[in-house]
């Protein structure tokens, strides 16, 4: 069976066809909608010009002349779009010189950061297109819609391909995010402090916490945030920590980083009546603190608490 060619030239050509056919199908669909809305199939051109004097005469004439070919063009465009996109989905991550999946430059950007950059651009362009003037009444508006649609198509296709490549790489899809790296670094630190190996599965992580009488919880339940930018946090809904304290009783509370401490002081401390201890963030963005320094700082506070917990457990037995 002949293998598909995944050369760069073929991928670029398929991307060009996908964008071109997708844009063609999009505008052709709009053309069919307008043709039906303005009764192109039951009215003469002269009648349309009299009934809709606010429409651009040149564009109205061109669209009216194409009314019979709109449906065939739509069918052909959708077929080309489907074929090119299916090829690109198969080719995503492949290289002609290897059978392995190889991420490219955009695939190496953390996924949550990637979405935080691309999604606002897509939404802004889409909003401007939808809120703009009628393209049939303004040639400038039509030009903006065309350019905006091309950008939307390119960015949308890029997002689809990078997601497919990451899925083909398996756990890379969720592991290559800023949020995952923050959590993973936290587990490395906890393992170093407690003298245990770094847990991999969810079951191992739960077991480590239970053995050492540690609970992990977010300070806030939900909020609006741009990507992973703590400074953009707003519309905060505090987490319900009382339900934990109702079971555990009064416990020591350690905050992972300055923002966690700030949010705890603002939303939780007065409710719980327990002052928190601020410790350095385990986020990879906190580059000044390596694993050794973090383990020492956290161990200085956490180890006495763990020893105290072990002593209380022995006494209770």
Q: pTM score, two decimals?
A: 0.54
Q: Of all residues in the chain, what percent carry a pLDDT higher than 70?
A: 85
Q: Using 50, 70 and 90 to split pLDDT, how confident is the model at 1?
A: very low
The larger pLDDT score, comparing residue 42 to residue 71, is at 71
Per-residue pLDDT tens digits for 91-130? 888 887 777 888 888 888 888 788 888 888 888 877 877 6
pLDDT of 317: 64
pLDDT of 58: 74
The overall average pLDDT reported for the chain is 81
Cα gap 224→235, rounded to integer Å: 6
pLDDT of 118: 85
Chain centroid to Cα 19, Å, comes to 22
The larger pLDDT score, comparing residue 300 to residue 285, is at 300
pLDDT of 143: 73
Question: Is the pLDDT score of 268 beyond 50?
Answer: yes
Whole-angstrom distance between the N-terminal and C-terminal Cα of the chain?
A: 69
Residue 34's contacts (CB-CB under 8 Å, 6 or more residues apart) are: 40, 63, 136
The CA-based dihedral angle spanning residues 258, 260, 263, 266, taken in that order and rounded to the nearest 10 degrees: -70
Provide mean pLDDT across the span 138-154: 76
pLDDT of 82: 94
């Amino acid at each position: 069976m002949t293998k598909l060619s995944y050369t760069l030239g073929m991928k670029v050509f398929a991307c060009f066809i996908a964008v071109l056919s997708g844009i063609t199908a999009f505008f052709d669909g709009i053309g069919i909608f307008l043709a039906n809305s303005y009764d192109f199939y039951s009215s003469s051109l002269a009648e349309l010009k009299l009934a809709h004097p606010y429409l651009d005469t040149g564009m109205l004439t061109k669209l009216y002349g194409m009314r019979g070919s709109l449906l065939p063009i739509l069918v052909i465009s959708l077929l080309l779009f489907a074929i090119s996109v299916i090829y690109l989905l198969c080719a995503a991550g492949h290289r002609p010189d290897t059978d392995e999946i190889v991420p490219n430059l955009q695939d190496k950007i953390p996924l949550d950061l990637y979405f935080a950059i691309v999604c606002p651009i897509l939404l802004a362009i889409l909003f401007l297109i939808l809120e703009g003037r009628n393209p049939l009444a303004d040639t400038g508006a039509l030009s903006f819609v065309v350019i905006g649609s091309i950008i939307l198509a390119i960015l949308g296709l890029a997002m689809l391909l990078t997601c497919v490549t990451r899925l083909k790489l398996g756990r890379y899809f969720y592991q290559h995010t800023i949020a995952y790296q923050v959590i993973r670094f936290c587990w490395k630190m906890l393992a170093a402090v407690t003298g245990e190996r770094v847990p991999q599965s969810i079951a191992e992580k739960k077991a480590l916490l239970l053995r050492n009488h540690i609970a992990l919880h977010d300070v806030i339940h939900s909020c609006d945030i741009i990507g992973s930018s703590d400074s953009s946090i707003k519309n905060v809904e505090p987490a319900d920590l009382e339900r934990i304290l109702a079971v555990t009783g009064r416990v020591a509370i350690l905050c992972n980083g300055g923002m966690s401490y700030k949010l705890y002081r603002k939303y939780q401390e007065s409710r719980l009546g327990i002052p928190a201890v601020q410790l350095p963030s385990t986020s990879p963005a906190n580059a000044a603190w390596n694993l050794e320094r973090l383990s020492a700082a956290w161990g200085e506070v956490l180890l006495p608490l763990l020893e105290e917990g072990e002593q209380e457990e022995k006494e209770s037995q």
